[in-house]
């Protein structure tokens, strides 16, 4: 499981890679949550290199988005492959943590 943080002038960007399963989430959850919430800036989560996503990852994403929202920030995901998209849409949590097709679309959502 890989995680890296970047910044644009407007937003924070987190890039995840690998399997967001029980082991993968356990390895990055604290770093992800602390890194996103610190500063309260709206954040894009790049899922392009994520191969798999389980319910523990959904818990992590919702909890982090909730903490970020209390500081006025928004969390948006983008770039999920068709299988990860199937999981996200079946669970329905993209209703509250939006999933964009591209980084360009994610930026537009964060600016809206």
What residue ranges bind other proteins (CB under 8 A)? 21-23, 26, 52, 54-56, 58-59, 62-63, 65-66, 69, 82-84, 86-87, 90-93, 95-97
Q: For other proteins, which is the closer residue by CB, 66 or 111? A: 66
Q: For other proteins, which is the closer residue by CB, 6 or 26? A: 26
Element (H, E) at 50: strand 43-53
Shortest Å, Cβ 95 to other proteins: 5
Residues 82, 76: Cα–Cα separation, whole Å: 17
Contact 94, 60 (CB under 8 A): no
Where would I find the H helices in 4-112? 22-37, 55-69, 82-91, 103-111
Shortest Å, Cβ 38 to other proteins: 18
């Amino acid at each position: 499981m890989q995680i890296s943080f970047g910044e644009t002038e407007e937003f924070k960007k987190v890039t995840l890679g690998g399997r967001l399963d029980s082991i993968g989430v356990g390895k990055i959850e604290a770093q992800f949550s602390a890194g996103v919430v610190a500063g309260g800036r709206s954040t894009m989560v790049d899922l392009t290199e994520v191969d798999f996503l389980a319910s523990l990852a959904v818990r992590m994403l919702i909890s982090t988005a909730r903490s970020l929202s209390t500081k006025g920030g928004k969390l948006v995901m983008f770039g999920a492959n068709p299988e990860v998209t199937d999981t996200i849409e079946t669970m329905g949590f993209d209703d509250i943590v939006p999933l964009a097709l591209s980084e360009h679309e994610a930026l537009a959502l964060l600016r809206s």
